[in-house]
Structure 1
Amino acid sequence: MPINILMPALSPTMEKGNLAKWLKKEGDKVKSGDVIAEIETDKATMEVEAADEGTLAKIIVPEGTQDVPVNDVIAVLAADGEDVKAAGAGAGKAEAPKPTASSFETPAARAPQDEGSAGGKTETPTKPTTNPAPRPEEGAPAPVSKGEATHNGARVFASPLARRLAKDAGIDIARVTGTGPHGRVIARDVEQAKSGGGLRAPAAAPAAGPAIAPAMSDQQIRALYPEGSYEVVPHDGMRRTIAQRLTQSTQTIPHFYLTIDCNLDRLLAAREDINAAAPKDKDGKPAYKLSVNDFIIKAMAIALQRVPDANVSWTEGGMLKHKHSDIGVAVAMPGGLITPIIRSAETQSLSSISAQMKDFAARARARKLKPEEYQGGTTAVSNLGMFGIKDFTAVINPPHATILAVGTGEQRPIVKDGKIEIATMMSVTLSCDHRAVDGALGAELIGAFKTLIENPVMMMV
């Protein structure tokens, strides 16, 4: 029987993706593990491997197609011994596998995962049915199993992650309006429901907050700007995701900010000595070249270990206290930014952090990062010092409870022992989620960071 190949979900929140390139053509033999296509998400371009063997009978979605919904049929695979022409002629008519039985999946997606992990499990029936129940959009009710959430007698389709989040938050999943493929309830819908939005029945009004101005309509744009004085650049997936997450952050997270100045003189001297002593390869190139940002990442990681109550994430069910310091580092890329994560940074050497950041930055700009390399983390660092920015405030990236905004290092007059001296100073601002980190705790964390930056030898022990 022909196998329908579906658009894979490469992350828990992915709803659509761009089919960037087919690496196999119709008539090609396909083996399990072969890389057959490249899918672009809002953050990265990922290679997709075949899970089944056979012959690629028909490509339904051509390469270059944008916004292909998850679980849409993109191609048909003829099984071994099957008539390829017949399979191609009946493209899209074969029964599609369920989400977890997708013909294509990434290596990360094939690894065993619990319901709350990045891959997220989906539900599959143990036995195939010869007459599958109509989908909700076809008008017929789906069969409902015992204990299944329903709304007006119809089954509520929701991802396992959304169900878990709704359960933890005490929200009836049947009341949540789904915005995923075919009305499926996804994690984003539950997060919106937590603030009282997207519910099918009247809910308690959310706490009053600052009004967010809606985007301008075409009519408003034409009234404000003469025709021909501008061009419209459509939003890509990355820009839409950034806008969505930062709007969510500013609307739902009560931010407060703490700024402190750090003396960089000792750090710059230590950096120069370490780089000068770096071993060289056969070509005479040093094995590593540390940046100030490498020291900042390491100092933040150790500071979180010294102030463990600040190494947390807020959830409705309780506070997550993290054992390791997983530091996200904002990297600018065409059209937006991404935050790859240095895992367990408190245990890593400065040279290891430096090497990882160089690799992450190069692959981020080429959109080659894997989801597990930029999802999660316990805090983040955003450094605009290289642009000459003295100080700024950064927006917290959920589920983090803090983010450190780093300004430029510059020579300033300071008072030391009653005398004015010149020192290289750097201003840093810690943004805190007041639900998880109170003022005194945030001050303790940024104070620990300052101590480490001004005494870099303490990072070596």
Structure 2
Amino acid sequence: MAKQLTMPQLSPSMAEGRLVTWRKKEGEPIEEGEVVAEVETDKAVMDLEAFESGVLRKILVQEGERAAVNAPIAIVGSADESIESLLPGAAAPPAAAQPAPSAPASSPPEKTASVPSGATSREESGRIRASPLAKKIAREGALSLSSLSGSGPGGRILQRDVLQALSSRPVAAPAPPRGATPEETRLLPLSMMREQIGARLLASKTSIPHYYLEIEIDAAPLIALRSELNDALAALPSDEKLSINDFLLKATAEAARRVPEVNVSWEGKAIRQYGAVHLALAVAVPDGLITPVIRDAQDKSLRQLAREGKELAARARERKLKPEEYSGGTLTLSNLGMYGIESFAAIINPPQALILAVGALTKKPVVAENDLIVVGHRVRLVASCDHRIVDGSIGARFLQEIRGLLERPLALLL
């Protein structure tokens, strides 16, 4: 029997997918579990497997087009059966008439279920009903609330309604500079990843009260230990080398274990404190940013973290990460030192409560213990914290632990 092949939810945050490539053509047989297409989600390009065997009778979504999760993208069936009833626009079979129930079978699960059909965000007086946060985000995004229908009680406009409208709003092309020809300007379409980044970061910056703590690390002991360890690794039959970032991963995981108050998330009327440090590592990819996660980082050695971090980063750049490899992080490390950025403040990745930004290793004059000015090797770290749950003293203790570990790095080998 012919069936529709629908767009599966290939990542936890996926709302729609874009067909990158069809591996099969119309009329070709397919086997259950066989890869029939490649789909771009908001995080990666993933294989789409057939759920049953048959013939690919009709492709409904072409390469480059998008489809919502659970929307039909193709029809699979036997070679000779009719598929007319499954094509878009086909008339649905008439439903059997049933008497209207005199009362609902059960009470509605949410208050919003009792809102009358057609409820809008306007009261009878004409005033637009919206939450304060929704109004703030709409104002910053130059979005008129009068064009929205709210999903809250009584049609009230909520934050999610505004964010959805902003992420789906077409972007007007700016006027070309005077004297420029049309060929000098381009309107670039947003990738699935870039859309998701825009929505999440807007929500983070407008709903999380960020504050920032900065500290400077004496990196000379770390540089000396790294050089000694890499000399020892060079004698082994492998090309393994340790980077400064590897030590930062280890120090961040250990500091979060020692100060568990930063390894938390805000849940409205409760604080969730995680029992393990799932350390996310920000990795730049051609069309955005992704944060693969090292699970149970607090229990892994320096070399284990180095290997896993490098493997995850390589797969992230190839857009080959699995959903479980980039979800569930409890705090994030972001390093722009390789680009020469000496100091920066990162935006928190919700629902996490802290992200640590790492700058470049620099040489600069510093005052030594004997009050002499000497050449020092320094690294600046900036912790962006959610002030709802990570107070200043907690964030300061976290950075103090990192400083102690990096300036006396032998402890990272224990």
Say if 1:312 and 1:322, in contact at 8 Å, map to a contact too. Answer: yes
Say if 1:331 and 1:361, in contact at 8 Å, map to a contact too. Answer: yes
Distance (Å, rounded) in 2 between the aligned partners of 1:231 and 1:133: 53
Say if 2:13 and 2:42, in contact at 8 Å, map to a contact too. Answer: no
Q: 1:439 aligns with which of 384, 388, 392?
A: 392
- Report the alpha carbon displacement of residue 279 of structure 1 after superposing the two structures with TM: 6.2
Say if 1:4 and 1:94, in contact at 8 Å, map to a contact too. Answer: no
Residue ranges of structure 2 left out of the alignment (5+ in a row): 120-129, 132-149, 160-165
SS of corresponding position for 2:315: helix
Distance (Å, rounded) in 2 between the aligned partners of 1:46 and 1:332: 18
Q: Does 2:303 match 1:348?
A: no
Q: Does 2:220 match 1:252?
A: no
SS of corresponding position for 2:65: strand
Say if 1:258 and 1:430, in contact at 8 Å, map to a contact too. Answer: yes
Given the superposition, is the C-alpha separation of residues 420 and 23 from structure 1 closer, same or farther in structure 2, using an over 3 Å criterion?
Answer: same
SS of corresponding position for 1:396: coil
Aligned to 2:107: 147
Given the superposition, is the C-alpha separation of residues 56 and 232 from structure 1 closer, same or farther in structure 2, using an over 3 Å criterion?
Answer: closer
Say if 2:364 and 2:378, in contact at 8 Å, map to a contact too. Answer: yes
SS of corresponding position for 1:303: helix
- Report the alpha carbon displacement of residue 399 of structure 1 after superposing the two structures with TM: 0.8
Distance (Å, rounded) in 2 between the aligned partners of 1:393 and 1:357: 22
- Report the alpha carbon displacement of residue 13 of structure 1 after superposing the two structures with TM: 2.6
Q: Does 2:81 match 1:86?
A: yes
Aligned to 1:210: none
Say if 2:152 and 2:158, in contact at 8 Å, map to a contact too. Answer: no
- Report the alpha carbon displacement of residue 344 of structure 1 after superposing the two structures with TM: 1.0
Say if 1:32 and 1:50, in contact at 8 Å, map to a contact too. Answer: yes
Post-superposition Cα deviations, 1:248-298, rounded to whole Å, max 9, x if no partner, equal 1110000110000111111111111111112667xx642x21110011011
Given the superposition, is the C-alpha separation of residues 85 and 378 from structure 1 closer, same or farther in structure 2, using an over 3 Å criterion?
Answer: same
Q: CA RMSD in A?
A: 3.5
SS of corresponding position for 1:222: coil
Residue ranges of structure 1 left out of the alignment (5+ in a row): 96-129, 135-139, 157-174, 177-196, 207-212
Given the superposition, is the C-alpha separation of residues 415 and 198 from structure 1 closer, same or farther in structure 2, using an over 3 Å criterion?
Answer: farther
Q: Does 2:356 match 1:361?
A: no
- Report the alpha carbon displacement of residue 454 of structure 1 after superposing the two structures with TM: 0.9
Aligned to 1:26: 26
Say if 2:11 and 2:43, in contact at 8 Å, map to a contact too. Answer: no
What is the correspondence of 1:237-386 to structure 2 with a 5 Å cutoff?
Answer: 237-278=192-233, 285-286=238-239, 288-386=240-338
Bigger mean CA deviation after superposition, 383-392 or 42-51: 42-51
Q: Does 2:17 match 1:65?
A: no
Distance (Å, rounded) in 2 between the aligned partners of 1:452 and 1:324: 19
Aligned to 1:413: 365
Distance (Å, rounded) in 2 between the aligned partners of 1:240 and 1:366: 19
Post-superposition Cα deviations, 1:52-73, rounded to whole Å, max 9, x if no partner, equal 23333332223x1322122121
- Report the alpha carbon displacement of residue 339 of structure 1 after superposing the two structures with TM: 0.8
**2:319 maps to amino acid:** R
Aligned to 1:170: none
**1:331 maps to amino acid:** V
Aligned to 2:377: 424
Distance (Å, rounded) in 2 between the aligned partners of 1:133 and 1:362: 56
SS of corresponding position for 2:361: strand
Given the superposition, is the C-alpha separation of residues 154 and 10 from structure 1 closer, same or farther in structure 2, using an over 3 Å criterion?
Answer: farther
Distance (Å, rounded) in 2 between the aligned partners of 1:50 and 1:89: 21
What is the correspondence of 1:100-179 to structure 2 with a 5 Å cutoff?
Answer: 146-149=106-109, 150-152=113-115
SS of corresponding position for 1:447: helix
Distance (Å, rounded) in 2 between the aligned partners of 1:249 and 1:452: 30
Say if 1:144 and 1:154, in contact at 8 Å, map to a contact too. Answer: no
Distance (Å, rounded) in 1 between the aligned partners of 2:203 and 2:246: 30
Distance (Å, rounded) in 1 between the aligned partners of 2:282 and 2:199: 17
SS of corresponding position for 1:86: coil
Distance (Å, rounded) in 2 between the aligned partners of 1:237 and 1:27: 30
**1:352 maps to amino acid:** Q
SS of corresponding position for 1:37: strand
Q: What is the number of residues matched between the two proteins?
A: 369
Post-superposition Cα deviations, 1:111-146, rounded to whole Å, max 9, x if no partner, equal xxxxxxxxxxxxxxxxxxx97799xxxxx99x9752
- Report the alpha carbon displacement of residue 90 of structure 1 after superposing the two structures with TM: 4.7
Q: Does 2:52 match 1:44?
A: no
Given the superposition, is the C-alpha separation of residues 203 and 55 from structure 1 closer, same or farther in structure 2, using an over 3 Å criterion?
Answer: closer
Q: 2:154 aligns with which of 167, 183, 201?
A: 201
Q: TM-score, normalised by structure 1?
A: 0.72
**1:38 maps to amino acid:** E
Q: Does 2:45 match 1:8?
A: no
**2:354 maps to amino acid:** T
Say if 1:57 and 1:87, in contact at 8 Å, map to a contact too. Answer: no
